[in-house]
């Protein structure tokens, strides 16, 4: 069971717990053939999601490619774990500016979880997502310095959020498409 929401560990302590939990889970599942995406809660307990459908995969890849094309001074990733106060979260896509990418790359090889948060985290919604789960992930991302969270809903419409709430468009990448269809 997770610690009460009012109890917050220092980030270094939470990140160390997240790293140990992710490493333990990875070893346990490495050869099992499991296809789930593994996140953890704040106490290191696994939170697993089934593999997404093809439309979901196409959208996350298209968003990551758009980020890389529109913001070449940084790096776009898909399914890269982010260490938060609420555990290890895995956004569908993210983008990190060049200076922070260098910090990210200084993490020892073999580490599965970095303490460096990206500037943008993207969640592509699946039928299994709940509004409260998405809100919780947004809060977790903002809590570690993510500047924007983008949500691609089931109708392929993008919405953008900053720590203060909904944005009309992304301040980091205003040219990003507002629709990300899976087909065509």
pLDDT at residue 2 is higher than 60: no
Q: Give the class (CATH, top level) of 53-167.
A: alpha beta
pLDDT at residue 1 in the model = 46
- Is the Cα dihedral 183, 129, 32, 111 positive or negative? positive
Instruction: Please report which confidence band the pLDDT of residue 138 belongs to, taking 50, 70 and 90 as the band edges.
Output: very high
Contacts of 38 (CB under 8 A, 6+ apart): 22, 25, 26, 29, 46, 47, 48, 88, 90
Q: Which residue has better confidence, 112 or 139?
A: 139
Of the ranges 32-41, 69-78, 85-94, which one carries the lowest mean pLDDT score? 32-41
Q: What is the pTM of this model?
A: 0.81
pLDDT of residue 38: 67
Average of pLDDT values for 122-142?
90
Q: Where are the domains of the chain?
A: 53-167
Confidence class for position 37, pLDDT limits 50, 70, 90:
low
pLDDT band at 40 (very low <50, low <70, confident <90, very high): confident
pLDDT in tens, 60-86: 999 999 999 999 999 999 988 899 999
């Amino acid at each position: 069971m997770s610690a009460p929401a009012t109890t917050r560990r220092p980030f270094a302590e939470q990140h160390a717990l997240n790293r140990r939990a992710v490493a333990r889970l990875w070893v346990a599942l490495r050869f099992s053939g499991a296809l789930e995406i593994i996140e953890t809660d704040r106490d290191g307990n696994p939170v697993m999601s089934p593999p997404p459908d093809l439309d979901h995969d196409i959208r996350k890849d298209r968003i990551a490619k758009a980020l890389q094309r529109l913001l070449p001074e940084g790096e776009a990733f898909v399914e890269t774990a982010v260490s938060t106060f609420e555990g290890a979260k895995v956004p569908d896509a993210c983008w990190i500016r060049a200076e922070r990418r260098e910090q990210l790359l200084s993490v020892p090889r073999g580490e599965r979880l970095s303490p460096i948060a990206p500037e943008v985290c993207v969640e592509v919604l699946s039928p299994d997502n709940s509004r409260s789960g998405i809100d919780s992930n947004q809060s977790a991302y903002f809590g570690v310095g993510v500047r924007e969270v983008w949500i691609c809903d089931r109708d392929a419409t993008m919405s953008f959020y900053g720590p203060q709430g909904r944005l009309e468009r992304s301040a980091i990448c205003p040219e990003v498409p507002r629709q990300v269809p899976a087909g065509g």
